[in-house]
């Protein structure tokens, strides 16, 4: 199981972590943005002076087999072996793709994740899920393959714009919903317009801890780890549809919109309290805007959701709630009810 390091001194913690891993060759994976903005924070480390740098294009639309092949090729051309170490420095796209490259190269090499976004820190870098998008579907090809370490540092959060902060914050809201009302209250009332980064860092580690404890109980998503899918069946449908129509959206924003749909399903199918549904939706309304859909898109979204890898057969599988902290996995909804939930989403965000 991967170890999570709460870093108070980024360079020192990375140096110590790499020193504690036996390897023959070191590789660093970044995207174009993190190569320019984040890698300089680590350039003084002596272990990195001889490391081979691999850079891929930025953003989730580049989480493809083409760029995965580029990583494999550069590992091969530079003599990587089964004993080499890959350090992924970036957001969720980098840690997902880099983790899958590590999982599959020579049947598996060691890797470290250093997430540089809030979303990466609370979601993609933790838990051992790796993968790429394929044929228009989110994370269609992948493997469970945890990193040796995840090093989380708030040094990177100061560089993020509001959109990037909110994208990660949606996953934190999801973690709170599956854990406790007290966690949700803290997040909803945290002043995002004037961020105290020290407090944000504490909340990040609280959120990561919720996820990590669930992953430790169920690393391969056979049971309770499905709790982490709250909001995601719909979110992945929104994301895939957005990519297909040439208007990609941040993952966290799709999760926020997906929460509206799936909390409505929770209310209808599991009696999730209406006032708690409304409270969460108000927060999303105030911060996340809307993903524009019409009723003409419902069949397409339903078809995409039907392709989600969490499904069994032709049934669309949802994780729902009967109460904050009371998760109901493996729930299903008929097409008509899903369409009703999409109606509710459109009404909620003013479409």
Residue 131 placed within a domain: yes
Same domain, 268 and 292: yes
Q: Which residue carries 């669930």 as its tokens?
A: 214
Pair of tokens at residue 175:
């973690």
CA separation (Å) from 49 to 21, 46, 276? 17, 6, 52
- Domain total for the chain? 2
Q: Is pLDDT above 60 for 292? A: yes
d(CA 174, CA 155): 24
Same domain, 20 and 142: yes
Same domain, 171 and 155: no
Same domain, 104 and 176: no
pLDDT band, very low/low/confident/very high, at 2 (cuts 50, 70, 90): confident
State pLDDT tens for residues 63-122: 999 999 999 999 999 999 999 999 999 999 999 999 999 999 999 999 999 999 999 999
- What angle do the packed helices 92-104 and 65-77 form, to 10 degrees? 60
pLDDT for res 45: 86
Residue 216 placed within a domain: no
Same domain, 11 and 46: yes
d(CA 236, CA 79): 37
Residue 203 placed within a domain: no
Pair of tokens at residue 64:
């493809």
Q: Exposed e or buried b for every residue in 265-299, given b needs 16+ CB within 10 A?
A: bbbebbebeeebbeebbebbbebbebbebeeebbe
Residue 205 placed within a domain: no
Instruction: Enumerate residues 6+ apart whose C-beta is below 8 A from 119.
Output: 91, 92, 164, 167, 168, 171, 250, 251, 252
Residue 84 placed within a domain: yes
Model-level pTM?
A: 0.90
Same domain, 317 and 264: yes
Query: What residues make up the domain containing 56?
Result: 3-159
Q: What is the DSSP string of 201-225?
A: HHHHHHHHHHHHHHHHH-TTSSSGG
State pLDDT tens for residues 306-316: 876 565 555 78
Closest CA to 113 of 104, 105, 100: 100
State pLDDT tens for residues 48-77: 888 999 999 998 889 999 999 999 999 999
Residue 74 placed within a domain: yes
As a whole number of Å, the CA-based R_g of the chain is 20
Q: Is pLDDT above 80 for 268? A: yes
Most confident of 39-48, 95-104, 122-131: 95-104
- Specify whether the backbone of 110 is left (phi greater than 0), alpha (psi in -120 to 50) or beta: beta
Question: First and final CA of the chain: distance in angstroms?
Answer: 44
pLDDT for res 340: 97
The pLDDT mean for the chain works out to 93
Instruction: Enumerate residues 6+ apart whose C-beta is below 8 A from 345.
Output: 257, 260, 261, 264, 293, 351
């Amino acid at each position: 199981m991967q170890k999570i390091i709460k870093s108070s001194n980024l360079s020192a913690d990375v140096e110590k972590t790499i020193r504690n891993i036996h390897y023959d060759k070191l590789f660093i994976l970044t995207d174009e943005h993190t190569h320019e903005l984040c890698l300089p924070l680590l350039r003084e480390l002596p272990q990195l002076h001889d490391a081979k740098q691999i850079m891929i294009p930025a953003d989730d639309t580049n989480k493809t087999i083409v760029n995965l092949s580029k990583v494999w090729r550069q590992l091969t051309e530079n003599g990587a072996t089964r004993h080499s170490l890959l350090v992924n420095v970036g957001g969720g796209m980098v840690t997902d793709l880099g983790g899958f490259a590590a999982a599959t190269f020579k049947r598996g090499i060691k890797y470290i994740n250093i997430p540089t976004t809030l979303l990466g820190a609370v979601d993609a870098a933790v838990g051992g899920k790796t993968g790429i998008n394929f044929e228009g579907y989110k994370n269609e090809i992948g493997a469970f393959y945890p990193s040796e370490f995840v090093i989380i540092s708030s040094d990177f959060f100061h560089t993020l714009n509001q959109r990037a902060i909110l994208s990660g914050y949606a996953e934190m809201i999801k973690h709170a919903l599956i854990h406790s009302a007290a966690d949700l209250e803290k997040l909803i009332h945290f002043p995002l317009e004037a961020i105290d980064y020290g407090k944000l860092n504490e909340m990040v580690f609280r959120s990561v801890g919720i996820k990590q404890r669930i992953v430790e109980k169920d690393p391969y998503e056979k049971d309770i780890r499905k709790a982490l899918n709250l909001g995601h069946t719909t979110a992945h449908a929104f994301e895939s549809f957005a990519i297909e129509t040439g208007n990609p959206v941040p993952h966290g924003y799709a999760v926020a919109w997906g929460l509206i749909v799936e909390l409505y399903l929770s209310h209808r199918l599991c009696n999730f309290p209406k006032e708690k549904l409304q409270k969460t939706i108000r927060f999303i309304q105030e911060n996340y805007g809307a993903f524009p859909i019409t009723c003409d898109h419902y069949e397409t979204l339903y078809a995409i959701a039907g392709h989600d890898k969490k499904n069994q057969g032709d049934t669309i599988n949802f994780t729902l709630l009967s109460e904050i902290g009371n998760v109901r996995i493996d729930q299903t909804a008929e097409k008509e009810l899903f369409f009703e939930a999409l109606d509710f989403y459109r009404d909620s965000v003013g479409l």
